[in-house]
Structure 1
Amino acid sequence: MTEEIFPGVELGEGTVVEPGARIGVPPRGAAPGELPTIIGPGSRIRSGTVIYAGARIGARFQSGHGAMIRENNVIGDGCSVGTNAVLEPGNRIGDGTRVHSHCFLENVTLGRRVFLGPGVVFTDDPHPPCPRYDECVGGATVEDDASIGGNATILPGVRIGARSLVGAGSVVTRDVAPDTVVAGSPAREKRKTSELVCAPGHFAKPYEWREALDS
């Protein structure tokens, strides 16, 4: 088994493409090489990954096995997309963001250093498809440093504020304020992130380490 790299693919220096990966696959209606595909330096594309032509990915990118990244995705530096995650067209992902295994995103905007736990699903269609689909609500927006627990579902058009935390298994039906913890179905505010406690006692408060990085 060998990797398959289509015309029009630009791989940065030191990027490794493992056997079985396919890079620059032309989307429907496009010829091979018609849309440029860019992957920055120092990246690793693991076996089974499929990246369509028209994707633009920054430096130090990591993909899990079997990840799929469709056309018209823009991914920043230092990001990862986990095993069997699916990025449909139209996502914008900021630097340092981690998309864990089995996530599903379409038309989603993620800020910097966002964390998505395994199995997080974003929806962008408020009802079954219709001829005016493109005029509907669209995908969610997640601001910088927000974290979303595993198996959460995020409904169309929702905005999740910076530094917020969404509990595992939650269904987010409305906007989440910055610095807020929400959980449940539908997700409701539980407390502020400043009220959280570091259970093992490694830090005086959760995310203290992040503040040190930002200083």
Structure 2
Amino acid sequence: MSQIYIHPTAEVDVKARIGQGTRIWNYCQVRESAVIGDNCIIGKDVYIDQSVLIGSRVKVQNGVSVYNGVTIEDDVFVGPHVCFTNDLIPRAFNDNWSVTATIVRRGASLGANSTIVCGITIGEYAMVAAGAVVTKDVPAYALVKGNPARVAGFVDRMGNRTDNG
């Protein structure tokens, strides 16, 4: 098995579980009870909140924030500066706050600077275009883009259009 690599500037809580072959780069923070699978790449300046679940062979690019309540399955690509939310009614003073779950299914691809609003599921091998604001569930193999994100076509497992779009 290949070794785990954690850059000296990264902060990884002792209660986080990191899979074999995973590499965590500069200035990352991985909080308690986070689980990251095997052979992942966690880019520079990534924040992974407590209890986040990340599968194997996931690539999380620089500057991503993954908040409590997010589950990312195997083989997902998370582009630079993607932001996940976990609060449908954000307030600094909300005494009744609770985490709202989000699931990113196997093989999905999230483009740079996309925002993933909590409480949704992004389907298997779906593709979210750069800058999209995803506010609703995304079907498997769908290509979504815009604000709010809308289905613009469909892709295969490799991201190639299948709808002649």
TM-score after normalising by structure 2 = 0.90
Q: 2:118 and 2:125 mapped to 1: Cα distance?
A: 20
* Contact kept in structure 2, 1:95 and 1:111, CA below 8 Å: yes
Mapped to 1, the partners of 2:82 and 2:59 lie a distance apart of 12
Residue 70 of structure 1 corresponds to 31
Name the SS of the counterpart of 1:118 in structure 2.
Answer: coil
Runs of 5+ consecutive residues of structure 1 not aligned to the other structure: 1-12, 14-40, 198-204, 206-215
Distance 2:42 2:32 in 1: 15
In structure 2, the partner of 1:159 is 121
Report the CA distance between 1:112 and its aligned residue: 0.4
**Code of the aligned partner of 1:84:** D
- Which residue type is aligned with residue 116 of structure 1? V
TM-score normalised according to structure 1 size: 0.70
C-alpha deviation, 1:54, in angstroms: 1.1
Cα distance, 1:53 vs structure 2: 2.5
Whole-angstrom distance in 2 between the partners of 1:131 and 1:189: 36
| 2:96 matched residue in structure 1 | 132
Higher helix share: 1
Structure 2 runs not aligned, ≥5 long: none
Match of 1:90, SS state, is coil
Aligned 8 A contact 1:99 1:116 in 2: yes
Distance 1:52 1:60 in 2: 18
Report deviation, 1:88.
1.1
Q: Taking every aligned residue pair, what percent have the same amino acid on both sides?
A: 31
* Deviation string, structure 1 residues 100-148 (Cα, Å, up to 9, x no partner): 11000112100100000000000000112512212x5x13100000000
Residue equivalent to 1:201: none
The counterpart of 2:140, out of the listed 168, 171, 178, is 178
- Which residue of structure 2 lines up, in the alignment, with residue 59 of structure 1? 20
Which residue of structure 2 aligns with residue 92 of structure 1?
53
CA root-mean-square deviation: 1.6
Structure showing greater radius of gyration is 1
Q: For 1:115-130, what aligned pairs fall within 5 Å after superposition?
A: 115-127=77-89, 128-129=91-92, 130=94
SS of structure 2 residue aligned to 1:53: coil
Q: Which amino acid aligns with 1:103?
A: V
| 1:28-55: CA deviation from partner (whole Å, max 9, x where unpaired) | xxxxxxxxxxxxx511111310011210
Matches within 5 A, 1:12-31: none
Which residue number in structure 2 is paired with residue 34 of structure 1?
A: none
Runs of at least 4 residues off by over 4 Å: none
